[in-house]
C-alpha cells in the first residue's frame, strides 16, 4: 500500500431504502450532504462499505458508509483503517445521538460510546476509545421505546432542523479534514454553545 496519508470520515447508518430517512441514519444523511458539497460520489465498494474518494493537497480523503448494519459497523471500519493505514487522529465517525436535542452537534476527540452500538462496534474492533467523533442530535422520545424511535423517520416539523444540522455538520467535517479534531471542536462546539 502506498504511503499517502488517508483521512477517513465514516457516516453510520443502516443500508437500504427502508432505513434511508430514519433518525438512526443521520450519519449517512449528513455524510451524503458533505459528499455532495465536496463534489464527491459514492462510486465503489470495499470492505463492506460504500466509498467516495478524492485527493486534496496530496492527501487522500475517503468517505465511507458501512453496509454491515449499524451494530456491526466495526466490521467495515476496522479493515478500512488497517488497509489505508489511517492514523486514529485522521478518523472521524459521524453518528446520531439520543442525548443531544434534534439538530445540535457535538465533536469529541475520544471517550466511551455512550451506549451507541455502532460506535461501540468500531471501538471494540479498533481496541481503543481514542476515536474522534461528530455526534448528531436526534433527541429522545417523550415516551415509548428508544429503538422504535431511532428507527422512525424524522417528522415534517423536524426537517428544517435536520437540514440545518447537515449544513453545520458538513462545515464541521470540512474543518476536521483541513485542520484536525481540536480545531473543529474549538470552532463548532463553541458555535453550538452559542445556539443554546
Active-site positions read: 24
Q: How far is CA 89 from CA 33, 41, 48, in A?
A: 23, 24, 22
Nearest to 177 by CA among 90, 93, 54: 90
Phi, psi of 9 (to 5 degrees): -115, 120
Tell me how far apart the alpha carbons of residues 100 and 106 are, in angstroms, rounded to a whole number: 8
Amino acid at each position: 500500500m502506498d504511503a499517502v496519508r488517508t483521512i477517513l470520515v465514516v457516516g453510520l447508518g443502516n443500508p437500504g431504502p427502508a432505513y434511508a430517512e430514519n433518525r438512526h441514519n443521520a450519519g449517512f444523511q449528513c455524510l451524503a450532504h458533505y459528499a455532495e458539497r465536496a463534489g464527491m460520489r459514492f462510486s465503489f465498494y470495499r470492505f463492506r462499505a460504500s466509498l467516495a474518494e478524492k485527493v486534496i493537497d496530496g492527501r487522500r480523503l475517503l468517505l465511507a458508509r458501512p453496509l454491515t448494519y449499524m451494530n456491526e459497523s466495526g466490521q467495515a471500519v476496522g479493515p478500512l483503517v488497517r488497509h489505508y493505514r489511517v492514523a486514529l487522529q485522521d478518523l472521524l465517525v459521524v453518528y446520531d445521538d439520543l442525548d443531544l436535542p434534534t439538530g445540535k452537534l457535538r465533536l469529541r476527540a475520544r471517550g466511551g460510546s455512550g451506549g451507541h452500538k455502532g460506535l461501540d462496534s468500531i471501538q471494540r474492533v479498533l481496541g481503543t476509545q481514542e476515536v474522534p467523533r461528530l455526534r448528531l442530535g436526534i433527541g429522545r422520545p417523550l415516551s415509548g421505546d428508544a429503538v422504535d424511535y431511532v428507527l422512525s423517520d424524522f417528522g415534517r416539523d423536524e426537517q428544517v432542523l435536520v437540514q440545518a444540522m447537515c449544513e453545520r455538520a458538513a462545515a464541521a467535517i470540512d474543518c476536521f479534514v483541513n485542520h484536525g479534531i481540536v480545531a473543529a471542536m474549538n470552532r463548532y462546539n463553541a458555535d453550538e454553545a452559542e445556539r443554546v
